[in-house]
Amino acid sequence: MDDISPIRAKSGTNQEGTSAHNRRVMIEALRLNGALSRADLARATQLTKQAVSNIIEDLESDGLVVALDAVRKGRGQPSTPYRLVPEGAFAIGLHIDRHLTRAVAVDLMGSVLARAEANLPFDEPSKGVEIILELIAGVRRDLAGISAQSEKRLVGLGVAMPGPFGLKDSDDKWMMPAWQKFPLLETLAKGTGLNVGLQNDAAACATAERIVGAAHGVDHAVCLYVGYGIGAGLILNGDLYSGSNGNAGEIGMALLAPAGPGSTPLEHRASLASLYQHLGLNPADSDIYEQMNALVLAEDAKMMAWIEGAAHDLRWSVHLIETIFDPQTVILTSGAPEALARRLVEAMQPLLPSIADRPGRMLPRLQLGTTDPWSIALGAAAAPISRAFDPLFSAILKTSSAPV
C-alpha cells in the first residue's frame, strides 16, 4: 500500500497539448519531495498513471531522472522510486554590486559546485564587465572540471543587482546609474553565449531562501533584504513576484515621512551604506565584514546607536509589509555578518501591532534568514533553473484557449 503522507506538488492537467507543463510539474514535485514512485507522482499531481509513466520515460531519456532500487511497502507489489539527477542541468548566477561581483555555478538541485569573486571599479561598467566575463569563464572552467557534460547542460546565466530598473531619472548614485545605462545583458549574452536574465538583489535573496533557507516550503513570505540598499523579495502563492517592470519590493525607496523637507527614503537610514557612512568605513575594503563583526561583538557605541535607529525604521517596514501583503512570515536577510543581522532582529522587537498579530500563528512574524553574502549569487543562479523547469500556468491558459 502506498504511503499516504502529503506530497508537495502542483497539479498537472490531463488535457491534450499540456505535456510540457506536466513535465515541469513532475520535475518540481521531485525537487521538493525527493524520490517518489510513479504512483506517488500520479496521486500528488492528479495525472493519470499512463501520463506519469510516459513523462518519466522521457525524463529518464533526457538524463533528468534516474530509477532507484525497488521498495516494498506492505503486502503490495514493490514500487520503484525516481529521483532527479543533479547533473541533469547547470546554471551560472552572478551578483553585481557597487564594489564587487560574485559568480557561482549550481546544479539542478541548487548545490553550489564552483564560485569566485572579484572587486569592481565603482560605476565603471565598461571595465567592470571585462572583469565579470573573466570571472564567469573561470567558474565555467571549474565546473567543466567537475562535470564533463556541464557545457551541454548549461541552461542560462542569472544576474542580480540593485534596482530599481528602467527609471526615467536614474542619476542617483544609490541606483548604480552607469550600470543602469550600460547594455549589460546584451554584453553578457554575447560574451558568454548564454541566455541571460536580470532580477534585483532582494528577489534573488528571496529565491535563495526558497531553496535552502527559512522560506523553504512557505507559500507566502516576504524577505526583507538589508544590504548596501534595502529591498523586499516577495513570495506570493509559492511563486516569486517581480512586478510589471521587475521593480516589485523596492521598499528601500519608500519615504519615512510625507514628501517635502525632512522626507528620507528608508535605505538612506537603515541600509549598510548608511552604516558605512555612520562609522566612516570604506565598503570597498576587503575585510569590511570582519570590521563590522568586530564592532558588533565589542558593542561599539556608534555601532549600537546605528542598530537602534535602523531597527526603529525597519520595524516600520515590517508593519507596512504585513499590512499590504499579509505574509505567513517576514524574513530578514542580509549580506551583513550574522552577529549584526541578529542584533537588528532583536532590536526590532517588539514589533508594531498589525493585522499579522493574531493568535495561533505557525511561524513568527519576523525571523532571521540567510546572512551569507553569497546567497544573492545563489538565488540568481536558481532563476535560469526556474525558467527552464518550473511549472508555468500561463502555458496552460494559452493552450486551453487555442482553437481546436
What 3 state SS string does 132-199 have? HHHHHHHHHHHHHHHCCCCCCCEEEEEEEECCCCCCCCCCCHHHCHHHHHCCHHHHHHHHHCCCEEEE
List all residues 6 or more positions away from 227 whose beta carbon is below 8 Å from its beta carbon: 97, 162, 201, 271, 272, 334, 335, 336, 376
Q: Are residues 279 and 159 in the same domain?
A: no
Q: Which of 201, 116, 113 is nearest to 164 (CA)?
A: 201
Arithmetic mean of pLDDT over the chain: 88
Q: What is the pTM of this model?
A: 0.84
Which amino acid is residue 162, in one-letter code? P
Q: Which of 252, 372, 269 is nearest to 320 (CA)?
A: 252
- In which element (H, E) is residue 224 found? strand 221-226
Within-domain flag for 389: yes
pLDDT value at position 176?
A: 82
pLDDT tens by residue, 198-211: 999 999 999 889 87
How would you classify residue 257: left for phi > 0, otherwise alpha for psi between -120 and 50, otherwise beta? beta
Within-domain flag for 79: yes
- pLDDT band at residue 239 using 50, 70 and 90 as cut-offs: confident
pLDDT value at position 262?
A: 65
Q: What is the dihedral of CA 26, 29, 31, 34, to 10 degrees?
A: -110
Query: Mean pLDDT lowest for which of 108-117, 301-310, 393-402?
Result: 393-402
pLDDT tens by residue, 213-238: 899 889 999 999 999 899 999 999 88
pLDDT value at position 166?
A: 79
Q: At what angle do helices 184-192 and 125-146 cross, to 10 degrees?
A: 40
Within-domain flag for 9: no
pLDDT value at position 401?
A: 35
Q: Are residues 79 and 123 in the same domain?
A: no
Within-domain flag for 68: yes
Q: Does residue 318 contact residue 312 with C-beta atoms inside 8 Å? A: no
**Cα gap 309→125, rounded to integer Å:** 34
Q: Which of 312, 169, 313, 330 is nearest to 252 (CA)?
A: 313
Q: Are residues 103 and 193 in the same domain?
A: yes
Q: Are residues 140 and 222 in the same domain?
A: no
Within-domain flag for 400: no
Q: Are residues 347 and 226 in the same domain?
A: yes
**Cα gap 377→95, rounded to integer Å:** 5
Within-domain flag for 318: yes
**Cα gap 71→83, rounded to integer Å:** 14
Q: Residue 277 — φ and ψ, nearest 5°?
A: -65, -40
- The segment with the largest mean pLDDT, out of 40-54, 138-152, 163-177, is 138-152
pLDDT value at position 5?
A: 56
**What nine digits make up the cell of 234?**
516577495
Final residue before a domain boundary, out of 84, 111, 144: 84
**CATH value at residue 68:** 1.10.10.10
**Cα gap 113→139, rounded to integer Å:** 9
How would you classify residue 113: left for phi > 0, otherwise alpha for psi between -120 and 50, otherwise beta? alpha
Within-domain flag for 100: yes
Final residue before a domain boundary, out of 24, 50, 84: 84
146-183: string of b/e by CB count within 10 Å (b at 16+)? ebeebeebbbbbbbbbbbbbeeeebeeebbbebbbebe
Within-domain flag for 134: yes
Q: Are residues 230 and 335 in the same domain?
A: yes
Q: Does residue 377 contact residue 104 with C-beta atoms inside 8 Å? A: yes
Q: Are residues 250 and 156 in the same domain?
A: no
Q: Are residues 362 and 383 in the same domain?
A: no
User: Average of pLDDT values for 63-78?
Assistant: 82
How many domains does the structure of the chain reveal?
3
Query: For residue 48, is pLDDT > 70?
Result: yes
Q: Are residues 198 and 220 in the same domain?
A: no
**Local structure of 340: helix, strand or coil:** helix
Q: Are residues 307 and 171 in the same domain?
A: no
Q: Are residues 98 and 180 in the same domain?
A: yes
Q: Are residues 248 and 127 in the same domain?
A: no
Cα–Cα distances (Å) from 145 to 133, 150, 157, in that order, read 19, 9, 19
**What nine digits make up the cell of 205?**
535573496
pLDDT value at position 397?
A: 37
- Calculate what percentage of the chain has a pLDDT beyond 70: 89
- The range of the structural domain enclosing residue 191 comes to 90-203+378-395
List all residues 6 or more positions away from 397 whose beta carbon is below 8 Å from its beta carbon: none
**Cα gap 128→95, rounded to integer Å:** 12
Can you list the pairs that 59-65 forms with residues at least 24 positions away whose Cβ atoms lie under 8 Å?
59/23, 59/26, 59/27, 62/88, 63/87, 63/88, 63/149, 64/27, 64/88, 64/89, 64/108, 65/30
Bridge partners (DSSP) of residue 106 are: 91, 112
**CATH value at residue 317:** 3.30.420.40
Cα–Cα distances (Å) from 318 to 222, 227, 230, 314, 391, in that order, read 9, 16, 12, 6, 30
**Cα gap 251→232, rounded to integer Å:** 6
